[in-house]
Structure 1
Amino acid sequence: MTTAPLDDQRRLLDVQALDTRAAQIAHRKRQLPALIRLAELDVRLADVDTSRVASRTALNDIRRELTKADSDVEQVRSRVARDQARLDSGTGTAKDLQAITSELTALGRRQAELEDVELDVMERLEAHQTALAELDAAAAVIVAQKAEAEAERDAEYAVLDAELATLEADRAVNAANLDEGLIKLYDKLRGQLGGLGAAALRGRRCEGCRLELNPSYVQSIRKAEPDQVVLCEECGRILVRLPEPAARV
């Protein structure tokens, strides 16, 4: 059976209060509005980055398409230039010159078709470049917003960490001279019971689980030796007996 001076047991409530405040600050650190914004911004940035990758891929495809279209147009233009030079030179038979003229007509139509294709590809390329520029701008805005949220988070962390450091120092002072076995039991129970290892007994009520205890159990606690460490029969936490309120006259 664990025993510890009653005064140590009562001082344990001060340690518990400090640990509870520290746990509340740790919870606040996990629930900062800046963290929520950062998570939202990360999702938005991931979506934009996915779109940017798709847009760059499409741009590369269109650039290759434009290179082919340019090459096709250039080939026809070169052929037109050669035929026109032959026609302008007047060399060859009338039949040859007539054939060249017919070919130039056909090449003219082909060149017009290919130039329309080239123009369409250029317009699509410009549209995709504009879309990518807009995505890049959107990403830059999100990155800037993330930097602001991170700065806010870090500033809030600094304040909360300073509070935690003060609580930890106070906790060390309060726990320094307490019974070693009592502290070990308390820390064990605190780890098992959601951070609350000790609670006051007020009347028949355990302040840990907030339940009214069996009267006979409470009576046995009241009769126990002052240095006996007792546990709540409902939640298993250390029950700290406080001085009985003075009877009214």
Structure 2
Amino acid sequence: MNAAPADQIRLLDLQALDSRIDQLAHRKATLPEHAEIQQRGTDLTELRSLTVAAETQLSDTKRELVKAEQDVDQVSTRAARNKQRMDSGAVNSAKDLANLQHEIGALAKRQSDLEDIVLEIMERLESAQTRVVEMTARRDDAAHSTAEAESRRDAAVAEIDAEVVKVTRERETVAAVIPEDLMKLYSKLRQTQNGVGAARLFQRRCEGCRVELAITDLREVRAAAPDTVVRCENCSRILIRTADSGL
């Protein structure tokens, strides 16, 4: 294949632009914010679950407290009613009076036990409320941190995308003046050679594979006409000859 030396030199400009686009794509895919957001998202999901669990525990404890207080009220009401009967003199039988007094004593003991239960539940309620406040704060903080990381990621992505647009326009300008057959070969080689289709021959070394050309290969390159498209024998990339090629 033949191509004007100027067109071959333009391949180096095109390669530089393509490499820059590849670098930007890699940078975009490996932004540290991606891993940070993923980790923060995992943490946030866990904190949301813990917050819901804490809220559920608080709700259950509140219902438990209401039930315990109702039990105390029922026992207290019954004890007050029995005391009123006893004080009214309506109970004339000694046996009934003794039974009533015994029941009042039993109710007093029952009320005391229930009040202890109420106190225990109130302590757990306070702990549950503290837990909800703590988990809600941690959840909200995690959500804020996640949003901040997403904002930083979006800003970085926007900056990268803007540069990609700029470099792509420059690439289109350069590619438009390179012969079609040379472009096809270059594009094919880029696909098979890790994104590098053309490399400068610098001081007898291919800058694509970093291998110095053998003596016989150098002779062939020296003997090749300026418009001959030469290839590296080691990596097959297009070799671009310049004044620094060491030929």
TM-score interval (norm. to shorter): 0.7 to 0.9
Alignment: residue pair count: 246
Determine the C-alpha separation between the residues in 2 that align with 1:47 and 1:152: 23
Deviation string 1:82-103 (CA, Å, 9 cap, x unpaired) is: 3233223322322212211111
Give 1:115's aligned amino acid. Answer: E
Determine the C-alpha separation between the residues in 2 that align with 1:185 and 1:107: 99
Look up the match of 1:194.
194
Look up the match of 2:8.
9
Higher mean Cα deviation, 112-121 or 148-157?
148-157
- Aligned to 2:200, what secondary structure does the other structure show? strand
In the alignment, is the contact (CA less than 8 A) between 1:73 and 1:114 conserved in 2? yes
Give 1:163's aligned amino acid. Answer: E
Q: Per-residue deviation at 1:112?
A: 1.1
Look up the match of 1:65.
64
In the alignment, is the contact (CA less than 8 A) between 2:28 and 2:160 conserved in 1? yes
| Counterpart check, 1:26 vs 2:25 | yes
Look up the match of 1:102.
102
In the alignment, is the contact (CA less than 8 A) between 2:205 and 2:213 conserved in 1? yes
Q: 1:59 to 1:189 in 2, by over 3 A?
A: farther
Q: Per-residue deviation at 1:65?
A: 3.0
Determine the C-alpha separation between the residues in 1 that align with 2:89 and 2:194: 101
What's the C-alpha RMSD, in Å, of the aligned pairs? 2.6
- Aligned to 1:13, what secondary structure does the other structure show? helix
Look up the match of 1:82.
81
Look up the match of 2:234.
234
Give 1:58's aligned amino acid. Answer: Q
| Counterpart check, 1:149 vs 2:149 | yes
Q: Per-residue deviation at 1:230?
A: 3.5
Determine the C-alpha separation between the residues in 1 that align with 2:101 and 2:229: 113
Give 1:72's aligned amino acid. Answer: D
Structure 2 unaligned segments of length 5 or more: list them: none
Q: 1:72 to 1:213 in 2, by over 3 A?
A: farther
Q: Per-residue deviation at 1:66?
A: 2.7
Give 1:20's aligned amino acid. Answer: S
In the alignment, is the contact (CA less than 8 A) between 1:90 and 1:97 conserved in 2? no
What is the aligned-residue identity percentage? 46
TM-score, structure 1 normalization: 0.84
TM-score, structure 2 normalization: 0.85
Structure 1 unaligned segments of length 5 or more: list them: none
